[in-house]
C-alpha cells in the first residue's frame, strides 16, 4: 500500500500546498550535520528539536518494520481471499469456508491496527523533518559574529553625529515624514511619507527596478496577502527564531467554503514570489523575478530597540529579488545577488559593510546569508539594508517546485532571495549621510536624480 510509504501527510481539501516529501534516509545519513545546524542556530525550540532528531532513526526503523509487517499481512489476506473465492457457492457445512472468513476478519483487524501505527509514525517523522532548519554552508561563521566580506565606500573614521538624526531632519528641518498622524490614524510605527520624502521613495523603487531588469530580472507586482500555509512554507512561521510575532494574520468572518482559510500580510515579496513556483516543473533556468510590494511586519519594536523613526516600522515598500535555479548553480547565483546589492549601494554613494552572517542569525530556510549594513551617523551605527540567502531545496520541497534534470527526471529546484531595495532604511541612510546642516539641504544621489525631475537637493 504505497499510500503509507511516502513521508507526507494528506492535506485537508481546502489546502493549496501538497504535503512536502522529505528524504528521511538522507537526513538520517547526515544526522550529525543537522544536529550541528540546530545547535549553532541557537533556536528557541532547539532542545525539543534535538530530542526529536535523535529519535528519528528509531522511528524510521519502526516505520519500515511496520510496513514490512503490513506487506506480509496483505499477502496472507490475498491468499485467504483467493481460497474463499474458490469456495464460492459452497455451503459452510463440510467446508473450510467458516474458518477462512474468521481468519480473514482477524487479518482485517490486524491491518487496521498496523495502518494506525504507520500513520502515527509517519506523522511524527514528518513533523520532525518539517521543523528542521536547512544545513549550513561551510563558510558560515559559527562564533555568533558576522565576518566582513567587503567594505563599500569606506570612511577613514566612523563618528556618530546626533545632528544628523533622520527623524529630526525629516520633521523639524524638512517636511518629509509625519509619524504623529500616522500613529493617530493607525498606530505606533506607522507614518506618512510626504513631499520629497514620498518622491524619494518612488525614485528608489524605479531605480532599483531598472537595475534588476538590467541584470535579467523580470518585473512582477505580486499580492501583499497570502495564505498562511504559503507563508509558513517559505519559513516565515507565525513567530520567528526569537519567538517574536512577525506576521499579521487577517481574520475572516465569511461562512463560505473558505471560512477556515487563514490569510496573512506578507513580510516580504519573497513569499508571494515563491508562490509562483507552486506545483511547477521548471524547464528554462535560472528564472529571476523582481517584485515590488508593500510589506508588513508585526515584530517592529518588540525588543524595545531600533524603534525610532524609519528604521523599524510595521508597513513599508520593498523591492525583492527571487531566483529559481538548478542545485549546481545556487552558490554562484548567491554571489551574483550579493554583487548586485553591492553595486546598488555603491552607486547610491553610501558607506557600508558586506557581511557573511553567522549561524545564529540565519532563519530556518537559509543555507547561507549575506547582509549589507549601511553607516547611519545619526543612529551612530551600521544598519541592515539588504539581505540575500540561498535556501537550496527548503522552500521548493514545501512548494513542490521542481525542474527536469539531465536524465529527464524531476528534482527539487533551489531558491534564492535578496533585498533589492528596503525603501525606508535607505531613505534614512540618504538623509543622515547627505544632509548639510549649513544649507539645510539633502543631496540626492546622482542615480536617483533622473527620477526626481533632475533635482540635486531636497
315: annotated binding-site residue?
Answer: yes
CB under 8 Å to 30, separation ≥6 — which residues? 135
Residue from 149, 129, 131 nearest 139 by CA: 149
Partnered with residue 151 across adjacent β-strands are 353
DSSP code at position 22:
-
The helix (run of H) or strand (run of E) holding residue 391 is strand 381-392
Annotation-wise, does 313 bind a ligand? yes
Does the annotation list 298 as a binding residue? yes
Report whether 367 contacts 390 (CB < 8 A).
yes
Distance (Å, whole) CA 388 – CA 100: 65
Place of cell 476478519: 105
Asked if residue 69 belongs to a known ligand binding site, the reply is no
Phi, psi of 374 (to 5 degrees): -95, 145
The CA radius of gyration of the chain, in Å to the nearest whole number, is 28
Q: Is 126 annotated as a binding residue?
A: no
Nearest to 292 by CA among 383, 218, 239: 218
Q: Is 230 helix (H, G, I), strand (E, B) or coil?
A: helix
Q: Is 320 annotated as a binding residue?
A: yes
Is 268 within any annotated ligand binding site?
yes
Q: Which of 333, 390, 324, 351 is nearest to 136 (CA)?
A: 390
Report DSSP letters for 270-321, one per residue: HHHHHGGGTT-EE-S--EEEEEEEEEE-TTTTTTSSS-STTSS-SEEEEEEE
Q: Is 431 annotated as a binding residue?
A: no
Q: Is 270 annotated as belonging to a binding site?
A: no
384 is an annotated ligand-binding site residue = yes
Task: Convert 116-151 into a string of H (helix), E (strand) and C (coil).
Answer: HHHHHHHHHHHHHHHHCCCCCCCCCCCCCCCEEEEE
List, as residue ranges, the binding site for L-serine. 268, 297, 320, 417
Give the annotated binding-site residues for ATP.
297-299, 313-316, 384-387
Binding-site residues from annotation = 268, 297-299, 313-316, 320, 384-387, 417
Amino acid at each position: 500500500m504505497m499510500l503509507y510509504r511516502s513521508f507526507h501527510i494528506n492535506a485537508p481539501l481546502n489546502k493549496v500546498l501538497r504535503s512536502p516529501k522529505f528524504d528521511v534516509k538522507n537526513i538520517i545519513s547526515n544526522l550529525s550535520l543537522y544536529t550541528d545546524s540546530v545547535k549553532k542556530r541557537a533556536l528557541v525550540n532547539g532542545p525539543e528539536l534535538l530530542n526529536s532528531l535523535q529519535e528519528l532513526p528509531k522511528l524510521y526503523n519502526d516505520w519500515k518494520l511496520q510496513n514490512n509487517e503490513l506487506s506480509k499481512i496483505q499477502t496472507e489476506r490475498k491468499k485467504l481471499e483467493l481460497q474463499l473465492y474458490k469456495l464460492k457457492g459452497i455451503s459452510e457445512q463440510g467446508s473450510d469456508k467458516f474458518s477462512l472468513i474468521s481468519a480473514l476478519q482477524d487479518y482485517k483487524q490486524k491491518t487496521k491496527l498496523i495502518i494506525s501505527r504507520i500513520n502515527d509514525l509517519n506523522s511524527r517523522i514528518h513533523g520532525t523533518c518539517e521543523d528542521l532548519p536547512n544545513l549550513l554552508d561551510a563558510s558560515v561563521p559559527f562564533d555568533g559574529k558576522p565576518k566582513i566580506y567587503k567594505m563599500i565606500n569606506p570612511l577613514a573614521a566612523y563618528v556618530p553625529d546626533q545632528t544628523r538624526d533622520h527623524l529630526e531632519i525629516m520633521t523639524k528641518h524638512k517636511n518629509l515624514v509625519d509619524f504623529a498622524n500616522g500613529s493617530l490614524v493607525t498606530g505606533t510605527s506607522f507614518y506618512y511619507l510626504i513631499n520629497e520624502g514620498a518622491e524619494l521613495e518612488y525614485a528608489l523603487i524605479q531605480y532599483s527596478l531598472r537595475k534588476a531588469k538590467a541584470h535579467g530580472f523580470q518585473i512582477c507586482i505580486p499580492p501583499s496577502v497570502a495564505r498562511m500555509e504559503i507563508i509558513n512554507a517559505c519559513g516565515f512561521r507565525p513567530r520567528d527564531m526569537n519567538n517574536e510575532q512577525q506576521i499579521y494574520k487577517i481574520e475572516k468572518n465569511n461562512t463560505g467554503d473558505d471560512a477556515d482559510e487563514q490569510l496573512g500580510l506578507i513580510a516580504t515579496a519573497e513569499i508571494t514570489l515563491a508562490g509562483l513556483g507552486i506545483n511547477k516543473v521548471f524547464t528554462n533556468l535560472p528564472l529571476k523575478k523582481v517584485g515590488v510590494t508593500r510589506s508588513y511586519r508585526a515584530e517592529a519594536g518588540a525588543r524595545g530597540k531600533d524603534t525610532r523613526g524609519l528604521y523599524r516600522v510595521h508597513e513599508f515598500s520593498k523591492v525583492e529579488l527571487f531566483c529559481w535555479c538548478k542545485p549546481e548553480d545556487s552558490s554562484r547565483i548567491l554571489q551574483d545577488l550579493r554583487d548586485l546589492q553591492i553595486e546598488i549601494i555603491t552607486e547610491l554613494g553610501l558607506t557600508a559593510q558586506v557581511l557573511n552572517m553567522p549561524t545564529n542569525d540565519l532563519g530556518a530556510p537559509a543555507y547561507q546569508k549575506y547582509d549589507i549594513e549601511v553607516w547611519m551617523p545619526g543612529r551612530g551605527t551600521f544598519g541592515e539594508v539588504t539581505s540575500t540567502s540561498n535556501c537550496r531545496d527548503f522552500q521548493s520541497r514545501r512548494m513542490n517546485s521542481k525542474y527536469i534534470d539531465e536524465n529527464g527526471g524531476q528534482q527539487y529546484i533551489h531558491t534564492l532571495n535578496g533585498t533589492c531595495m528596503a525603501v525606508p532604511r535607505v531613505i534614512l541612510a540618504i538623509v543622515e549621510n547627505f544632509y548639510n546642516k549649513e544649507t539645510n539641504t539633502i543631496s540626492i544621489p546622482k542615480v536617483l536624480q533622473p527620477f526626481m525631475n533632475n533635482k540635486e537637493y531636497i
